[in-house]
Amino acid sequence: MIKYLKIFLLLLLITGSAVAYEYHMPVNIQCTTTPAVLMPGDEALLAIEMQNGAASYGAGKDSGSGSTAQSSLLSTPINKTVLKGTQYLKVLTADYNNLGMIGPNDKITAYYKIKASENITSGTYLLNFQVQGGYDMITINRDIPIKVDSATVNMARAESSATKQSFNLNVANPRENTLNAVTIIPSAKGIKFSPDEYYIGTMDPDEVFTISFSLEAADRSKPLKGDNNISFVAKFKNGDTWHQSEPYVTSYTPPLDNTKQNNLLQPAGILILVIMAAGVYLYRKNKLPFRPKNGSR
């Protein structure tokens, strides 16, 4: 009888171990990239979150919370993580080893720095991520999508004042992600801008700002006239990487100087009035009848 009882207990232990064993893997993997969309030359931080889904796969949402023994059976070790780069996306962080144990519904995050090459094109790239976990060293493979977009800050002229020496500019962020420290820098030969650069700051996706610059001749003895070529560049940060846009080149024609026109019109108007008055006097004089002097015959 004792012999059969020992065999029965042994079978229970083997069965219990087999049931617990299938939970020894993190099955939920999620990732976030900062910045969310890379540009050529960007460095980004990739956060890969691994969650032990043992409680969700056959043990119920409260599994592991009732006893230390059950939680231990459902816990799994994370032995190693590997992130493989591509021709255009380089992984800067070394692989992780022995990250520790994670219990039911617990999470652990591995952080990797990645860098996009300068000649990478726009699109979505896949990085292969591997997790070795569980007591039997099972490997899970996941493809991590990385978005790349070479689009930069857009600029276009806006309607400007017809009486003031100013230039208005529309500035837009066409990207899917937020840009930081956006600054517009104007330049032109012989022209002084105020402000000398315009700080916008943070620009959300599809956000548009209209900014204005005052213009005057760098040499006040040579006032602005005719068409003048002016250009603007945008400097900004995508994540922690600085970028500069291609120059936006346009032309600027100063408004007519109404003050000088008025100064010329005033004496001209006075002269016209004098001529008109003289004309009226001569006309009336010629129309008056001739009256002979006293004593004449």
DSSP characters for 15-74?
HHHHHHHTT-SEEEEEEEEESSEE-TT-EEEEEEEEEE-GGGTTT-TTTTSS-HHHHHHH
Tokens representing 97 are: 């080893």
Rounded CA separation 75/94 (Å)? 25
Note if the pTM is more than 0.85: no
Name 108's Cβ contacts closer than 8 Å, sequence gap at least 6: 26, 49, 50, 78, 99, 100, 102
Local structure of 111: helix, strand or coil: strand
**pLDDT for 67 beyond 50:** no
Sign of the CA dihedral running 261, 262, 266, 269? positive
- Tell me which H or E stretch contains 105: none
Higher pLDDT, 195 or 261: 195
**pLDDT for 272 beyond 80:** no
Each residue's pLDDT tens digit, 108-147: 999 999 999 999 999 999 999 999 887 777 888 999 999 9
**What pLDDT was estimated at residue 106?**
86
Each residue's pLDDT tens digit, 201-251: 999 999 999 999 999 999 888 888 888 999 999 999 999 999 999 999 999
**What pLDDT was estimated at residue 48?**
96
Query: What is the pLDDT averaged over residues 37-51?
Result: 96
Name 55's Cβ contacts closer than 8 Å, sequence gap at least 6: 61, 62, 63, 64, 74, 104, 105
Domains of the chain (ranges, CATH numbers): 20-148 (2.60.40.3880), 164-252 (2.60.40.10)
Rounded CA separation 39/118 (Å)? 8
Higher pLDDT, 287 or 241: 241
Question: Across-strand partners of 109?
Answer: 49
Each residue's pLDDT tens digit, 167-204: 999 999 999 999 999 999 999 999 999 999 999 999 99
**What pLDDT was estimated at residue 143?**
95
Name 257's Cβ contacts closer than 8 Å, sequence gap at least 6: 223
- Tell me which H or E stretch contains 201: strand 198-203
Query: What is the pLDDT averaged over residues 260-280?
Result: 63
Q: Are 175 and 151 in contact (CB under 8 A)?
A: yes
Query: What is the pLDDT averaged over residues 29-58?
Result: 88
